[in-house]
């Protein structure tokens, strides 16, 4: 009973999982994710370069951490209020983990929102 789940073994869930793995394994999908990741890091670096609170922007793929000189609790709350879900990773790192299907337009919007709340 310790490994039971609501959707485990369900034919629909297994079909969805199988199709997801098939899509992720397509070269074009992963190339697109890499392209979006580079794009997002570039616009974050451009928009946040002048912010004295920003220590570093780092990450792998679309998993991004923005290290700040200030605690991120208020920034996380302001972004959530404005519709952008982010987390803290420790006291002073803003963690951004968009879905792999995110669009460049959505990444631009996210970057703009982050720029506006880091004063």
Write the pLDDT tens digit of every residue in 3-49. 667 666 688 888 988 999 999 999 899 899 999 999 999 999 999 98
- To 10 degrees, what angle do helices 104-117 and 27-48 make? 20
The pLDDT value recorded for residue 6 is 67
% of the chain residues with pLDDT over 70: 93
The stretch 37-62 carries a mean pLDDT of: 95
Distance CA 119, CA 115 (A): 8
Nearest Cα residue to 33 out of 85, 107, 83, 84: 107
The pLDDT value recorded for residue 70 is 95
Nearest Cα residue to 36 out of 99, 88, 93: 99
Q: Across all residues in the chain, what is the average pLDDT? A: 92
């Amino acid at each position: 009973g310790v490994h039971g789940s609501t959707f485990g073994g369900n034919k629909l869930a297994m079909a969805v999982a199988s199709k997801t793995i098939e899509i992720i394994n397509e070269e074009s999908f992963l190339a697109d994710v890499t392209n979006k990741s580079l794009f997002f890091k570039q616009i974050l670096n451009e928009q946040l370069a002048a912010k004295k609170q920003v220590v570093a922007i780092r990450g792998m793929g679309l998993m991004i951490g923005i290290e700040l000189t200030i605690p991120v609790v208020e920034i996380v709350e302001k972004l959530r209020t404005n519709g952008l879900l982010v987390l803290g990773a420790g006291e002073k790192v803003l963690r951004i983990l968009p879905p792999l299907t995110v669009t460049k337009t959505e990444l631009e919007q996210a970057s703009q929102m982050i720029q506006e709340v880091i004063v």
